[in-house]
Amino acid sequence: MVGHGKDINDIDVSFDNSKFCSASSDRSIFLWDGQIIKRFSGHDQRVSSCALNKDGSVICSGSYDATIRLWDCRSQNRLPIQIISDSKDDVSSVDLSDTEILAGSIDNFVRIYDLRQGKMIEDNLGHPVTSATFSGDGQCVLASTLDSTIQLLDKESGEVLNSYSGHINGSYKISSCLNSADSHVISGSEDGSIFVWDLAEGNLIESFHAHKKVVESVVYHPTKDLIISGSSDSTIKSEDKDAHLDEVFETTDAGASLVYPLQCSALRKGGHVVIKGRPCKIVDMSTSKTGKHGHAKVHLVAIDIFTGKKLEDISPSTHNMEVPHVKRTEYTLLDIDDGFLNLMTADGGTKEDVKLPDGEIGNKIQAEFDEGKDLIITVVASMGEEMCLGYKDAPKQ
């Protein structure tokens, strides 16, 4: 599909997937259904952001000219039905609910416009805002800023409910989003990674190097556990969240490293780290005050994900640590033969090189299999090792 004359800066798809809108540096907004339905123009500078309302009848656009404009998709009139001029800089992000407009701006503000009551509330986040979205329940706002921080705000009071860090976002417009259950926060990063945090706890769950360049855009599929990411490396990828995004390494970068570097201060409880050559999950961390040599020290306490052994390390906060790529895959259990699990892969193949684990988990798997239960086996792989670390009952057909 060809239409815009310059870069496309944003797109948004209607709720029923029947059409989408696009915002471009050519100062126009297009409405599409596979072909161009309408073209709207009127902004004085590039259009940085766009959003469709739920029924696809109204487009909201934000521009480098510091205005927000609303466009009626059903009218023959191509002029904006409303122009909002409260921003002092580029309106980098817009989102729409049934009765509200959410806008994030490079002027450091997040603004919410209540269309029913005709009022506006704003919150100064202290740094340029690159992304702002409503939570699925409409009670919160998720906002990304150019200090490598994402904040979860109460929509009514503006109170910061939680914050998320570890990714790199200091120079580019990078989006963040919530999954469909409002349980995880997802963001791109300037180092080509995708980061996933627990919404309530704030801890980093996983991060994966998914692209060769900046991951500028991430969106979550409304009905499936899929993350779609777009990058300045000119690629778009669709990743299975439950597989922790590791399919990208198998399909596009077979020679990828088993680990990646991350500044020690960006590590978080619940995330992963390599200690003494072992892949570990961080269970506790503390930071000492800056010493005479100018470096704060971070004390890490972690558990080896395979052996369960407790390991500790101390590192300057500004130094890089190795973080392991961790992949979790589910298989259907077919048989147990001579201490090994006979597993069926998603494509119908078989895998027979995973041992029945020792201890309680292995005993339970053997007992429930002997009882005739259908089981799903969870295999964790990292740094060249893999092990069965869990199981569950298979879904009933």
Sign of the Cα torsion 148, 196, 98, 32 reads: positive
8 A C-beta contact, residue 383 and residue 324? yes
H helix intervals, the chain? 247-252, 359-370
**pTM reported for the whole predicted model:** 0.60
- Tell me, what's the pLDDT at 334? 95
Quote the CA–CA distance of 345 and 327 in Å, as a whole number. Answer: 15
Quote the CA–CA distance of 325 and 345 in Å, as a whole number. Answer: 21
Measure Cα distances from 38 to 33, 47, 82, 318 in Å: 10, 16, 18, 51
Measure Cα distances from 144 to 7, 34, 56, 157, 236 in Å: 22, 31, 26, 18, 21
Quote the CA–CA distance of 150 and 147 in Å, as a whole number. Answer: 9
Residue 379's DSSP bridge partners are 329, 388
Quote the CA–CA distance of 115 and 143 in Å, as a whole number. Answer: 21
Counting Cα atoms < 13 Å in the Cβ hemisphere of 45 gives 13
Quote the CA–CA distance of 19 and 31 in Å, as a whole number. Answer: 7
Quote the CA–CA distance of 30 and 20 in Å, as a whole number. Answer: 8
Instruction: Identify the CA nearest to 130 among candidates 59, 197, 193, 48.
Output: 48
Instruction: Identify the CA nearest to 305 among candidates 285, 336, 327.
Output: 327
SS3 289: coil
Joined together, the tokens standing for residue 309 give 């052994």
Structure-token match 């439950």, residue found: 242
Joined together, the tokens standing for residue 132 give 């702002």
Q: What per-residue string of b and e applies to 364-388 under the rule 16 or more CB within 10 Å gives b?
A: ebeeebeeeeebebebbbbbeebbb
8 A C-beta contact, residue 151 and residue 162? yes
Instruction: Identify the CA nearest to 271 among candidates 326, 217, 210.
Output: 326
β-strands 278-287, 385-393 pairing: unpaired
Which structural domains are found in the chain, ordered by start?
8-252 (2.130.10.10), 259-324 (2.30.30.30), 326-393 (2.40.50.140)
pLDDT values of the chain reduced to their tens digit, one per residue, 397 residues? 456 788 888 888 888 888 889 988 889 999 988 788 899 999 999 999 999 998 889 999 999 999 999 999 998 888 999 999 999 999 999 999 888 999 999 999 999 999 888 899 999 999 999 999 999 888 899 999 999 999 999 988 889 999 999 999 998 899 999 988 888 999 999 998 999 998 988 889 888 888 888 888 888 877 777 888 888 877 777 766 554 433 333 333 333 467 888 888 888 888 899 999 999 999 999 988 765 545 688 999 999 999 999 999 998 888 888 889 888 899 999 999 989 999 999 888 899 999 999 999 999 999 999 999 999 999 999 988 999 999 999 887 6
Sheet of 204-209: strands edge to edge?
176-178, 184-188, 193-198, 204-209
8 A C-beta contact, residue 314 and residue 297? yes
How long a stretch of residues is the chain?
397
- Tell me, what's the pLDDT at 249? 32
8 A C-beta contact, residue 192 and residue 231? yes
Measure Cα distances from 77 to 29, 124, 280 in Å: 14, 35, 60
Q: What per-residue string of b and e applies to 5-22 under the rule 16 or more CB within 10 Å gives b?
A: eeeebbbbebeeeebbbb
